[in-house]
Amino acid sequence: MTDSIFAYAGQILRVDLSSGKTWTEPFEAEDRRKWIGGTGLGAKILWKEVPPEAGWDHPENRLVMATGPLAGLPVWGTGGLTVVTRGALTNGATNTQANGFFGANLKCCGFDAIVIQGQSPEWVYLHVHSDGVELRDASSLLGKDTWQTQQALEEVTALNGHNLSVYSIGPAGENLVRFAAIQGDYGHVASKNGCGAVMGKKKLKAVAIERGKKGIAAAHPRALYAAADEIAHNLKTDASTRGLYLFGTLGGVRNLYGMGALPIRNYTTNVWPEDVDTKKWEGKNLREGFDHRGHQCSACGMHHCHMLVIGSGRHKGEVVDEPEYEGWSGAGWAIGATEPSEVAWLNDRLDRACVDVNEFGWLCGWVMECQQKGYLSDKDLGFRLEWGDVEGANRLLQMIYRREGLGDLLAEGVKRAAEKLGGEAADCAIYTEIGNTPRGHDHRSRWEEMLDTCTGSGGTLDTAPPVQPTEFGLPARIEPQDPEAVPKQVGVLRGRRTFEDSLGACAFTTRVSMHVLCRSVEAATGWDFRMEEAIRNGRRTAALLRAFNLRCGIGPELEKPSKRYCSTPVNGPVAGVSISDHWEKMLDIWYETVGYDRKTGRPTPETLRSLELEEVIESLWGAEVKT
């Protein structure tokens, strides 16, 4: 690192698995300011280096594992990893985050990102430390789940805890399950769009990064401490984030149920069964219902991530990662499982196998419903799978990651499996036409997230729920089913999340004022950095990811939910309210708000110019428009 670089290591590690070569290249000052890091840097690399003919499984596809300027600095939740690649579910751009220690360790080894290309002839893992980079034989790791892989590499290196960050794939990634994830540091998951399948196709079993010895300097340390303190204070005291500070995402189950947004039994109902002890599912009680061990990420003071000890039942005494809300949802409510200890155990199986818990929940719930309704026989599946059958769900998981029997089709993800089965079975499946699936919510109650999931370019939400929307000139709160206010809000907020995902920080610790976030970036980098630049930066990245997808043939004709995904809830707090009648109008408003062309889906030349993406204009619109 040169003396003049603050907040960054200033180097990108390049790895060509086909040749076994590794090298470094500078992360130039101009690119740092324009793309920040994380998602921004990944988007730039995808656009420049992955041509449309290089699909997710092509050697020319890139797997970018990047962090950002806040990683490794004393700001809460800054061990951040962002994975950007062309993903296996949509065959388009992927933007997915995880935490733990990856980002901090990588920076301390002298790198802001790792860019992996090619395909190795044999299974390898990448070992990064302060003094060098090695591709090592991974044959002894094959077949191990992600926790076993991390344990094995801890033994090899004689390091553990924050001294060694390991992100790996389990059997689902090895067998190219299209919704395989990359899991790391015991319970953190970059889960979206089959990034683990990309890693598997490259025959890269794991990336292990030691805590390097290189320092990361902030331009204005005292100002950084002040900004970090303000972020922590806001998280502890803000009416929304205080619950997150105390209990992580556990409060989501009860709150989302109250809104009709907890997905129950594959969207067949919004009312939980009468025999459920609902108090067990409150955030505080979920936390207190287990014996816990702290499991904080780098530099984080949130009471968010924990290990828990299962206290009763078949798996008594097992230590698992405390599920996030998404785990309680995907491994629980979406499949009708209602006993927390059973759900926690299944969630752990999914993490170890490295599958996306959301996609699995929609897939398993769909299979359960298809069996209940006779669309899929016991013979088709090989056994009977009833609502809430956790052991059966685990059996299904094994069929999927081994690609055995019907599991081979299910490993292709919900959309492909549903289209293959067709008929009434297909009508029950939850997915977007692009090929991804929603997060663990019933979006029929959260229209902004359905719109965002369907129009997003990174394989999941682009914008996500509003945080302090008044900073953007929006009302503090809108009705969740307002067909005009919802698309306006999603459009105006576009860019915030993409910016956050470029910082090397956790999405939960960035749920604070944009002005405070920008102050932390300013103190870290020494830039004169304001909210306007941050949002322009985020919108630039979002527009480039969309341009990448358009170049790959993913256009606006695919921006719609499946029949079940946009069906009308039959009961609960939004019973009888349908988004379908408003969908096209909502898209009209969203397109106009974000400055994209409604017919082609392209960001308009004016929008691209305003985002300093002149080089994209010619590619999307032809040479005559450029001037």
Partner 1 sequence: MQMSEPVFKVNVELMAWATVFVGGDGSDRKNAEVDAFSGDTVRAVLKRLSARHPDLDKALWHEGTDSLSEHLEIAVNDALLGIHHTLESEVKAGDTILLMGQFMGG
Cβ nearer to partner 1, comparing 247 with 345: 247
Contact window for partner 1 (CB under 8 A) among 68-76, 134-142, 227-235, 250-258: 250-258
Q: In what order do the strands lie in the sheet with 124-129?
A: 132-137, 124-129, 204-210, 164-168, 182-184, 188-190
Cβ nearer to partner 1, comparing 159 with 507: 507
Which of the residues 274 through 293 are near partner 1 (CB under 8 A)?
279, 282-285
CB 382 within 8 A of CB 330: no
Cβ nearer to partner 1, comparing 284 with 292: 284
Cβ nearer to partner 1, comparing 61 with 97: 97
Instruction: Please give the structure tokens belonging to residue 462.
Output: 């682009």
Assign 81 to helix, strand or coil.
strand
Candidates 112, 185, 412, 449; binder of partner 1 (CB under 8 A) is: 449
Q: Is 365 in the site for partner 1 (CB under 8 A)?
A: no
User: How far is 409 from 367, CA to CA, in rounded Å?
Assistant: 12
Candidates 181, 355, 464, 518; binder of partner 1 (CB under 8 A) is: 464
Candidates 155, 378, 424, 479; binder of partner 1 (CB under 8 A) is: 479
User: How far is 258 from 214, CA to CA, in rounded Å?
Assistant: 48
Residue type, 484: E
Query: How many C-beta atoms lie closer than 10 Å to residue 171's C-beta?
Result: 24
Interface map 167-206 toward partner 1 (x if CB under 8 A): ----------------------------------------
Candidates 470, 568, 580, 600; binder of partner 1 (CB under 8 A) is: 470
Q: Is 481 in the site for partner 1 (CB under 8 A)?
A: yes
Cβ nearer to partner 1, comparing 58 with 284: 284
Q: Is 1 in the site for partner 1 (CB under 8 A)?
A: no
Q: Is 483 in the site for partner 1 (CB under 8 A)?
A: no
Cβ nearer to partner 1, comparing 99 with 549: 99
**Residues contacting 151, CB < 8 A, separation 6+:** none
Q: Is 476 in the site for partner 1 (CB under 8 A)?
A: yes
Candidates 251, 336, 340, 435; binder of partner 1 (CB under 8 A) is: 251
Q: Is 577 in the site for partner 1 (CB under 8 A)?
A: yes
Strand duo 306-309 + 319-321: pairing: antiparallel
User: How far is 196 from 387, CA to CA, in rounded Å?
Assistant: 28
CB 384 within 8 A of CB 204: no
CA distances from 424 to 140, 273, 367, 375, 564 (A): 45, 25, 12, 7, 11
- The string over 135-159, giving b where at least 16 C-beta atoms fall within 10 Å of a residue's C-beta and e elsewhere, is bbebeebeebbbbebbebbbeeeeb
Closest distance to partner 1 from the beta carbon of 109 (Å): 28
Which of the residues 302 through 331 are near partner 1 (CB under 8 A)?
324-326, 329
CB 209 within 8 A of CB 184: no
Binding site for partner 1 (CB under 8 A): 238-240, 242-244, 246-247, 249, 251-252, 254-256, 258-260, 279, 282-285, 324-326, 329, 439-441, 445-446, 449, 464-466, 468-470, 475-477, 479-482, 507-508, 572-575, 577
